[in-house]
Amino acid sequence: MPLHIEKVSHSYGTVEALEEAFVTFANRVPFYGAVIANLDDPGVRRLLPHLHRRVVTYGFSPQADVQGRAVTLTPAGGSCQVMVGGREMGTLAVRLPGRHMVSNALAALAREARVVWVGPRIEPQVQLQWLVARGCAAGLAIRQGTEANYLRLDAHLARTSPVPYVSQNRLFNLEFPRDPGGCGGLLRKDGDHFSALGVSEMARRADVVAAANAFLQ
């Protein structure tokens, strides 16, 4: 959904009321969609902190996700170099005069930005309170069939997702602990419990976006 603010409609009365309506509308975008936002518009920039959906920004600002730079304007049209994520993607040319037409073309490119659903972590967890109360010596066990249930859930999400789905289990080669008889087995994959191995494991998968991009290339 493209997002830009040009003028106050008489039906809203104030800029604040119009902006509130924009935020409400933008936050109704489906979870697998995205809001395409013009970062050159100061009104849009004010709204960005209030948006809870994925946002793809475009414009001539260096901070835009889809940026146009080195703009050239002639009576016959305009062109610019397109940068996406800091990488030069090529030249965009339009046969309509005006800087705003180049901006509109950037918005169209931003709409084509790839949307990928990175699935949730699907792995066993043990509550820290349980460990504190019982201790590692109490022994830990995973119910029979739990791993198969998790795998079925991951497969269901992949099958029903309206956009390309990436499993975190595949993304980071997650495995069920093979020795769940003590704390070492389960905490090995869990940074929430502050084990040294868990902290290291969580650091490995901190940048989900970079990992997903590398996985999809």
Q: What is the pLDDT of residue 53?
A: 86
Rounded-to-integer distance, Cα 83 and Cα 69, Å: 8
Cα dihedral 181, 185, 189, 195 in deg (nearest 10):
110
Q: Are 88 and 81 in contact (CB under 8 A)?
A: yes
β-pair type (165-166, 117-118): parallel
Q: Would the pLDDT of 173 be above 90?
A: no
Q: What is the pLDDT of residue 61?
A: 95
Those residues whose C-beta lies under 8 Å from the C-beta of residue 94, and which sit 6 or more positions away, are 77, 78, 79, 101, 102, 104, 105
Higher pLDDT, 2 or 149: 149
Q: What is the pLDDT of residue 167?
A: 81
Where are the domains positioned within the chain?
2-111, 117-216
Per-residue pLDDT tens over the stretch 111-143 = 876 656 777 766 656 666 666 677 666 656 666
User: What angle is formed at CA 103 by the lines to CA 101 and CA 105, rounded to 5 degrees?
Assistant: 70
Whole-prediction pTM value? 0.55
- Of the pLDDT bands very low, low, confident and very high (cuts 50, 70, 90), residue 62 is very high
Q: What is the pLDDT of residue 42?
A: 92
Higher pLDDT, 6 or 92: 92
β-pair type (77-84, 66-74): antiparallel
Buried b vs exposed e over 158-184: b needs ≥16 C-beta within 10 Å?
eeeeeeebbbbbebbebebbeebeebe
Question: The domain at 2-111 falls in which architecture?
Answer: 3-Layer(aba) Sandwich (3.40)
